[in-house]
């Protein structure tokens, strides 16, 4: 057994390890060596990017030693491991994280200074690893951090996209997308492992063959083969030696793939097929929440899942102590949404077709291996694939889906004899019109546990989305409220606040046990501490103001209230409700020039899916109206509106520490959890929000008096739809609401360009206002009035902000992961000494 002393968390600045000068000199020499021998660079001509690579390589040496040691212990002890399957990982930058993990942050700062280099400038040279869209991908990244930090043996599996989420630019207020060629200059954090490449087959047909005893032995033939090459990214824990792996698959053509075509005499055909195999991992689909039946997307899902399962099986069976008999004893697979749900069928196929197991036995193993996390109730986000597409890409899997379905329908019949309605909703195949495979039903049937991501979401999952399955499989549904890693989202992104907390609590243990922040509660009313806390906030706002000036060309005052909404652009998240409120404030100021309001800076960050026209129209409206407001001398700078382009993890890390107010204003019942809400609150921003997702639990933690709640509840939303909702009634009844909507629909903000915001305007009035902006508008404005009044009382605001930080312990992803490990994965930590 590995023995380990309970490792102490890294100390900042304090020279716990070696003498700082000495270790900085060593690191400085190592950086120099990498610059010269690895990068072939002269110090004098090295760019910030070169310095970043050289420093990363120097840090990586330590990370790799730990990674090897970790894998050696896990293998020697034949530990049970968690395999996290996710199509997205929004890792952001790895530099700061790895420096914290190795306790080398201050050393690296000093080492770079010795070379005359500015640490922050070097840090900014790293391109974000943006292999995800939003919350779901960032959750996966936070989970990897917590898994390693708490010494859980785990691997993340996913796709090595050549192009991550697009880079966003604004041109005349419009969103313009550019490819994110993030690996153009190489990635010092990855290790390519061609020796562990896997072959995956697609297309072809099933031959009906019977063996010599008359057993049906289908053969999947005439397939095309794609090669998956693993790229390993180490994921280092904080305050511990554990370094786990994120293993991402890049697709390549196989040699026989090429040769067959060559032999048919077609050079171009060969090259074309080669590119089509390589296309599979080329680009991340940029739609958050919706994916619509694209063949390439199904190929991506199957490709990474098939590679990963083969890799798991290879690693499992290479230990002579292991066999299929203990497979599910050693292997726990978590499906991050239904994107990897085809894994259920692929494992069945391997067991039945390649290992000659009975369907019964195979289904038994499958059902002990997988667990599934549902991330959304939005109907448009529930994945479905046409049976025709399945037949073309994965014909054998389609057969097995029918096998699985007959088992499910058998259970339904046993529970509700003769009830065809129940069979219709539980079936893996949807029969309305063209037949579709329902991936959510497949994931539920093939998993031992299904979880929602916040208490409210899980309740709605059981009540509204899967009531039949909840009855069919009692106890299968659980809640696991999301969390965020306090390392990235406080320790690393907000060093000023981290230092203040450490000073007040007298230790840094809080970064590994976030509940310890409760120790700040007793200082919440302390005037001296309040002013220190708000001085940190102000310094962070000064820094953000400089970024705003550089990115948007707008001057903002750090004394204004920074009102922040940062998240994917989506109707249900209601950035346009925020816009309606901004218009209302602007209109009040124009009509009453002396009006006394707290000056505000509205900060937006959001990418819209490239094909989501209404979302892009909202972006344009915010940009154009914002520019008009920013340039209007009549309002004396009381309002500023800035939309920071290219929202991503590294930008979030700069905005969040500077936020006063956090906008979490989704229509009740639509946001499964949210995690941005947690990051902002942890950094001392107060929330203005609806009773949706994890906001409900944030309110429970911080207390009703430390949050601004408004709007309809889930029950009230349901009742409103039931009795019939007409936004026109509200429009007619509320003069201010009517005024701002008419204004938005006019060409006041776009002289000479008629109907510029027609899509937004239309959805609110004629489109039936599906996200109930008009219904919540007045209550939202009232909540903002309470914000305004509260902000004037500096001490009260400070106290509320401190209590928000102090009470966020629950939302550490360490807590989330511990719950998954204990209640779903049955996973134990393995200490690395």
Ligand X SMILES: *Cc1c(COP(=O)(O)O)cnc(C)c1O
Catalytic residues: 375, 567-568, 573, 675, 679
Residue from 157, 167, 174 nearest 249 by CA: 157
What is the nearest approach in angstroms of ligand X to the Cβ of residue 588? 28
* Smaller CB separation from ligand X, 437 or 484: 484
Q: Which stretch binds ligand X (CB under 6 A): 36-44, 169-177, 209-217, 648-656?
A: 648-656
Comparison of 471 and 614: residue with beta carbon closer to ligand X:
614
Question: Least distance (Å) from ligand X to the CB of residue 91?
Answer: 10
Here the tokens at position 692 are 């949706």
Among 422, 541, 600, 648, binds ligand X (CB under 6 A): 648
* Residue list 195-234, contact with ligand X (CB under 6 A): none
* Binders in 118-177 for ligand X, by CB under 6 A: 134-135, 138
Choose the binding region for ligand X from 48-56, 178-186, 277-285, 647-655 (rule: CB under 6 A). 647-655
Identify the H or E element spanning 429: strand 429-430
Two tokens at 326? 């203990």
DSSP state of 324: G
Q: How far is CA 531 from CA 500, 501, 520, 662, 778, in A?
A: 11, 13, 14, 21, 34
Minimum CB distance to ligand X, residue 128 (Å): 9
- Region from 181-189, 394-402, 494-502, 668-676 binding ligand X, contact rule CB under 6 A: 668-676
- In whole angstroms, the minimum distance from the beta carbon of 675 to ligand X comes to 4
Rounded-to-integer distance, Cα 806 and Cα 497, Å: 12
Only segment of 48-56, 250-258, 673-681, 695-703 that touches ligand X (CB under 6 A):
673-681
649 binds ligand X (CB under 6 A): yes
Q: Please check whether residue 336 is in contact with residue 325, taking contact to mean a CB–CB distance below 8 angstroms.
A: no
The DSSP string of 496-560 is HHHHHHHHHHTSSGGGT-GGGGGGGGGGTT-HHHHHHHHHHHHHHHHHHHHHHHHHH-----TTS
Q: Is-contact 830 73, C-beta < 8 A?
A: yes
- DSSP-based three-state secondary structure for 448: coil
Burial level of 237, CB count in 10 A (0-12/13-18/19+)?
Answer: buried
Residues 6+ apart with CB under 8 A from 534: 794, 797, 798, 801
- Interatomic CA distance for residues 674 and 695, integer angstroms: 8
Contact 622, 641 (CB under 8 A): yes
Q: Which stretch binds ligand X (CB under 6 A): 8-16, 185-193, 241-249, 669-677?
A: 669-677
**Residue 676 binding ligand X, by CB under 6 A:** yes
* Residue number with CB closer to ligand X (10 or 659): 659
Nearest approach, Cβ of residue 339 and ligand X (Å): 17
Please name the residue that has the structure tokens 């006063």: 660
Q: Which stretch binds ligand X (CB under 6 A): 399-407, 575-583, 589-597, 671-679?
A: 671-679
Closest Cα to residue 599, out of 634, 557, 657?
Answer: 557
**462 or 567, CB closer to ligand X?**
567
> Per rule CB under 6 A, is residue 681 in the interface with ligand X?
no
Considering the complex, what minimum distance in angstroms separates the CB of residue 816 from ligand X?
Answer: 14
Tell me the C-alpha distance between 823 and 469, whole Å: 20
Judged by CB under 6 A, the chain residues 88 through 107 that form the site for ligand X are: 90
Minimum Å gap between C-beta 247 and ligand X is 23
Q: Where are the alpha helices (DSSP H) in 416-466?
A: 420-426, 439-445, 455-460
Q: Tell me the window of 447-455, 556-564, 674-682, 805-813 that interacts with ligand X (CB under 6 A).
A: 674-682
Q: Least distance from C-beta 830 to ligand X, angstroms?
A: 29
Number of residues that bind ligand X (CB under 6 A): 13
Question: Is 652 an interacting residue with respect to ligand X (CB under 6 A)?
Answer: yes
Rule CB under 6 A: is residue 488 a binding residue for ligand X?
no
Site for ligand X in 544-573 (CB under 6 A): 567-568
**Cβ contacts of residue 791 below 8 Å, gap of 6+?**
561, 598, 660, 797
Q: Nearest to ligand X by Cβ — which residue?
A: 676
Residue from the set 675, 804, 805, 812 that interacts with ligand X by CB under 6 A: 675
What letter does residue 484 receive in the DSSP assignment? B
Check binding of 622 to ligand X (CB under 6 A).
no
- For residues 61 and 56, give the distance between their C-alpha atoms in angstroms, rounded to a whole number: 9
Half-sphere exposure of 638 (CA within 13 A, CB side): 19
CB nearer to ligand X: pick between 66 and 375: 375
Judged by beta carbon, residue 376 or residue 763, the one nearer ligand X is 376
Tokens of 81: 């491991």
- Residue 127 host element (H or E): none
Which of 237, 674, 684, 809 binds ligand X (CB under 6 A)? It is 674
Min dist. Cβ of residue 142 to ligand X (A): 8
CB-nearer residue toward ligand X: 230 or 452: 452
Q: Which residues bind ligand X (CB under 6 A)?
A: 90, 134-135, 138, 567-568, 648-649, 652, 674-676, 679
């Amino acid at each position: 057994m590995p023995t380990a002393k309970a490792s102490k968390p890294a100390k900042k600045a304090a020279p716990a390890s070696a003498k700082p000068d000495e270790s900085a000199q060593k690191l400085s020499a190592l950086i120099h060596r990498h610059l010269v021998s690895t990068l072939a660079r002269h110090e004098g001509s090295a760019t910030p990017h070169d310095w970043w690579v050289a420093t990363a390589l120097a840090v990586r040496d330590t990370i790799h030693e730990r990674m090897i040691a970790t894998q050696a212990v896990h293998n020697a002890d034949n530990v049970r491991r968690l395999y996290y399957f996710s199509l997205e990982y929004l890792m952001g930058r790895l530099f700061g994280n790895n420096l914290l993990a190795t306790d080398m942050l201050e050393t690296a700062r000093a080492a770079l200074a010795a070379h005359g280099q500015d640490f922050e400038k070097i840090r900014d040279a790293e391109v974000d690893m943006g292999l995800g869209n939003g919350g779901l991908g960032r959750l996966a990244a936070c989970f990897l951090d917590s898994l390693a930090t708490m010494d859980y043996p785990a691997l993340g599996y996913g796709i090595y996209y050549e192009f991550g989420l697009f880079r966003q630019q604004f041109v005349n207020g419009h969103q313009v997308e550019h490819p994110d060629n993030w690996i153009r200059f190489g990635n010092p954090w990855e290790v390519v492992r061609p020796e562990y490449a896997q072959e995956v087959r697609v297309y072809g047909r099933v031959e009906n063959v019977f063996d010599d005893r008359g057993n049906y032995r289908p053969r999947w033939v005439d397939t095309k083969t794609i090669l998956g090459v693993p790229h390993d990214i180490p994921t280092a824990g904080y305050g511990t030696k554990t370094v786990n792996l994120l293993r991402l698959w890049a697709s390549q053509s196989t040699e026989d793939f090429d040769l067959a075509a060559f032999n048919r005499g077609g050079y171009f055909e060969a090259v074309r097929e080669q590119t089509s195999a390589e296309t599979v991992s080329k680009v991340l689909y940029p739609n958050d929440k919706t994916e619509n039946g694209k063949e390439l997307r199904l190929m991506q899902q199957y490709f990474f899942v098939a590679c990963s399962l083969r890799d798991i099986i290879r690693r499992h069976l290479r230990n002579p102590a292991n066999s299929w008999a203990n497979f599910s004893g050693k292997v726990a697979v978590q499906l991050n949404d239904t994107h990897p749900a085809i894994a259920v069928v692929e494992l069945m196929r391997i067991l039945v077709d390649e290992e000659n197991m009975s369907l019964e036995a195979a289904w038994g193993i499958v059902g002990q291996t997988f667990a599934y996390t549902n991330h959304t109730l939005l109907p448009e986000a529930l994945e479905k694939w046409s049976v025709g597409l399945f037949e073309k890409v994965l014909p054998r899997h389609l057969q097995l889906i029918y096998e699985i379905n007959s088992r499910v329908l058998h259970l339904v019949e046993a529970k509700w004899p003769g009830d065809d309605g129940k069979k219709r909703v539980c079936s893996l195949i949807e029969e309305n019109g063209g037949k579709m495979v329902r991936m959510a039903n497949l994931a539920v049937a093939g998993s031992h546990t299904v979880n929602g991501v916040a208490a409210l979401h899980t309740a709605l999952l059981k009540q509204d989305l899967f009531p039949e399955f909840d009855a069919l499989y009692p106890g299968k549904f659980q809640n696991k409220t999301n969390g965020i890693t306090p390392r990235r989202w406080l320790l690393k992104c907000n060093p000023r606040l981290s230092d203040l907390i450490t000073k007040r609590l007298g230790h840094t243990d809080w970064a590994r046990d976030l509940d310890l922040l409760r120790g700040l509660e007793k200082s919440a009313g302390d005037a001296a501490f309040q002013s220190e806390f708000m001085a940190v906030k102000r310094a962070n706002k000064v820094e953000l103001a400089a970024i705003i000036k550089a990115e948007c060309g707008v001057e903002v005052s750090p004394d204004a209230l920074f009102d922040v909404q940062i998240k994917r652009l989506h109707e249900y998240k209601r950035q346009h409700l925020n816009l309606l409120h901004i218009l209302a404030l602007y209109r009040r100021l124009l009509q009453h020039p002396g009006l006394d309001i707290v000056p505000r800076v509205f900060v937006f960050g959001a990418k819209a899916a490239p094909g989501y026209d209404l979302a892009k129209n909202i972006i344009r409206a915010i940009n154009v109206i914002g520019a008009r407001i920013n340039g209007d001398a009549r309002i004396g700078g009381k309002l500023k509106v800035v939309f920071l382009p290219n929202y991503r993890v590294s930008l979030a890390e700069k905005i969040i520490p500077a936020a006063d107010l956090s906008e979490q204003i989704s229509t009740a019942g639509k946001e499964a959890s949210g995690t941005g809400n947690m990051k902002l609150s942890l950094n001392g921003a107060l929330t203005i929000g609806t009773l949706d997702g994890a906001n409900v639990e944030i309110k429970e933690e911080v207390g009703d008096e430390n949050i601004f709640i408004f709007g309809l509840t889930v029950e009230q939303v349901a009742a409103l739809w039931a009795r019939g909702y007409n936004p026109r009634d509200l429009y007619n009844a509320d003069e201010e609401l009517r005024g701002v909507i008419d204004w938005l629909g006019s060409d006041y903000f776009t002289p000479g360009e008629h109907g510029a915001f027609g899509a937004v305007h239309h959805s609110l009035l004629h489109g039936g206002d599906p996200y109930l902006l008009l219904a919540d508008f007045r209550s939202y404005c009232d909540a903002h009035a309470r914000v305004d009044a509260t902000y004037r009382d500096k001490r009260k605001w400070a106290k509320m902000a401190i209590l928000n930080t102090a009470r966020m312990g629950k939302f550490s992803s360490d807590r989330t992961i511990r719950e998954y490990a204990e209640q779903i994965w049955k996973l134990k930590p393995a200490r690395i000494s």
